Amino acid sequence: MILYKYVSFASGLEILNSKTIGFSNPWDFNDPFEMVGCHAILPNSAFAPLVLRSMMERSAVLSLTRSPLNPLMWAHYALNHSGFVIGWDANVAGFTDESKNVIPAQYGNIIYTATRPMHPELGTTTPMKYGEEYAFRAELLEKLQRFFLYKAMCWSYEEEVRIVKCVFGDDLKTIPSGPLKKINVDGRPLFLAEFPTEAIKEIYVGVNNQLVDHEESATVLQPWKHTAQLFECRFALNSWELSTVEYGANMGIKSTPLSRRD
């Protein structure tokens, strides 16, 4: 399973150079309705604010998508098509590891609804350690969905898949969902997880990316030419869609062909 991240030019370079990807606290997301679908499942209304705050503080989310060629996503998250889309093999990157992710990628499909869920849980009432669950537990899936995976239908164009980690603990290097490294970016925490080089399978360069047609900048992607497919986005003819060509074919960094993976 290949999953994609739309990023700015600067963020893309940081990911490629450091081989780390950042998980964010839910309250730093751009949707003010994040996690409001969990209200009806909280154990007691008097404690609901404390539980919700605990979940937000102690959880970090990586938002990915299934499509690398969504023009709206390029505009919104890759800064007007000036950045990159990076595609990971979810298994190789550790995104499907049930021992390290409270919601691994295979269970992280966003559920888009036209109305906000307000009903109590329909299934099991298995107790949950709010903000202290590090591994995936199938019996908690309904609770986890209500906390992290419900969004309004208007966001459905994103085709989002989430990976959620618990980041509770004094030493992020030794917690069960780690090792992680915490940094601050523009005043917000970001939790960095390492991934192996071979986890990146595809890299897309936006139509407004400064690497387009600049041979002197081609070395940025040079280290990835043997392990990933490199693409340059183009405007498709006779439609509002994007198409791709192989990146660097005329600049001596032609990538090694790899088979696409579902």
Q: Where are the beta strands (DSSP E) in 111-255?
A: 111-113, 150-152, 160-166, 181-185, 188-194, 200-205, 229-235, 242-246
Smallest CA-to-CA distance from 242 within 6, 86, 81, 1 is with 81
Amino acid sitting at position 261: R
Tell me the β-bridge partners of 185.
188
pLDDT of residue 60: 96
Q: How confident is the model at residue 256 (pLDDT cuts 50, 70, 90)?
A: very low
For 136, the token pair is 């995936």
Q: Is the pLDDT of residue 233 over 80?
A: yes
Residue 6's DSSP bridge partners are 85
Per-residue b/e over 183-219, b at no fewer than 16 CB within 10 Å?
Answer: eeeeeebbbbbebeeebbbbbbbbbebebbeeeeebe
144-163: average pLDDT: 95
pLDDT at 161 over 60: yes
pLDDT of residue 70: 97
Lowest average pLDDT, out of 38-47, 54-63, 103-112, 206-215, goes to 38-47
- Residue 261 pLDDT more than 60? no
Q: Is the dihedral of CA 22, 27, 30, 36 positive or negative?
A: positive
What's the whole-number mean pLDDT along residues 196-212? 94
| Closest alpha carbon to 4 in 231, 236, 181 | 231
Residue tagged 């340059």 (tokens):
232
* pLDDT bucket at 254, cuts 50 / 70 / 90: very low
198: alpha, beta or left? (left if phi > 0; alpha if psi -120 to 50): alpha
What does the block give as tokens for 60?
């970090």
User: Mean pLDDT score of the chain, rounded to an integer?
Assistant: 89
- Token pair, residue 5, equals 């991240």
Helix (H, G, I), strand (E, B) or coil at 236: coil
Exposure b/e, 60-74, CB count within 10 A at least 16 = b: bbbbbbeebbbbebb
Percentage of the chain beyond pLDDT 90 is: 66
Residue (of 130, 137, 129) closest to 104 by Cα position: 137
**Is the pLDDT assigned to residue 82 strictly greater than 90?**
yes
Q: Please tell me the predicted confidence (pLDDT) of residue 240.
A: 93
